[in-house]
Structure 1
Amino acid sequence: MATSRDKRGQAAGLRPDKRLGMNIKRTEQALITAKQLAVRPAGLTVPQYAALFALADNPGISGAGLARSCLVTPQAMTVVLKNLEERGFIERSPHPWHRNVLETRLTDAGREALAAADARAVLIERALSEEFTQEERAMLREFLLRCERAIDRAATDL
């Protein structure tokens, strides 16, 4: 007789090492650890690097927009931006029309820190990319997108 526990893998004995979520988490942790080592000599954390990286392509973006771009909460981004501003890596100024919105831009020091961090972080990305053929990279992106959609569907059923 099947139970609802079977769907979750509990009764079926789905061990942690057999769960895709564990593989994804281990891979994510390995990537974050490698990126931390890569950006540390530039005096940055991974969240700070991500913010500078996003700012380079979106000068003037708001903190809320930057949080969405970096996949963090606005509260977390506020802390990151405060630290970057204190270190002189960014400057913030009121939007010309929306005075409650602060525009954020890289300073020369921020561009230098980003360039130094990215020169090392790109080595991680390159090593990851070189592990797969172009076709495999496309497939991996599709598989990860499918994972994201499956997780979203499962979460709505909770």
Structure 2
Amino acid sequence: MTSMPAEERIGSYIKRAEQALLGAKNTAVRPAAVTVPQYAALLWLSEKPGISAAALARLCGVTPPTMNTVLKNLQERGLIERTPHELHRNVLETRLTDEGRSVMEVADAGAVAVERALAAEFTGEERELLIGLLGRCAGALDALR
């Protein structure tokens, strides 16, 4: 017997919701032939062209080596281009290609549909409360690192 019953562990509920969200988004972005991490990178690149791989990894919540793999795969497909920074030659700037923008838009349509379906499960007040509570969870867990 453990010192805390499984049904009282908030982390397991957060993990279950995360897995369900990832599964739904994987299905939603499949028509664009990208994974959720690839879609996340394309989405952030559409909003922050020229961002470095390290900064992109932080925004997408993955490690830098994982992001490098994601970017390598996107580059091989012609969805992004990487060029040396004007002043810092060892930093590569990453931007969407026209094809990358098109793929991102297809994937985004699916991902937005998932987000809207999820949001529709809650009233506006409940959404605000949930966002606040999840923010508190993240803050409390970040403080434990």
TM-score band, normalised by shorter chain: over 0.9
TM-score (norm 2): 0.95
Which stretches of structure 1, 4 residues or longer, exceed 6 Å deviation after superposition? none
Higher relative contact order (CA 8 A, sep 6+): 2
Residues 1:59 and 2:49 aligned together: yes
Residues 1:149 and 2:139 aligned together: yes
Residues 1:100 and 2:90 aligned together: yes
- Deviations along 1:12-67, one digit per CA (max 9) or x if unpaired, are xx322331111100000000000001111111000000000000000000111111
The DSSP-based 3-state class of the residue aligned with 2:34 is coil
TM-score (norm 1): 0.88
Q: How do 1:1-158 and structure 2 match up within 5 A? A: 10-11=2-3, 14-153=4-143, 155-156=144-145
Q: Which has the larger radius of gyration?
A: 1
Specify every segment of 5 or more residues in structure 1 that has no aligned partner in the other structure, as ranges: 1-8
Q: Give the whole-Å Cα distance in 2 for the aligned partners of 1:28 and 1:75.
A: 22
Q: Give the whole-Å Cα distance in 2 for the aligned partners of 1:119 and 1:57.
A: 16
The DSSP-based 3-state class of the residue aligned with 1:92 is strand
RMSD: 1.3
* Structure 1 residue 110: Cα displacement: 0.3
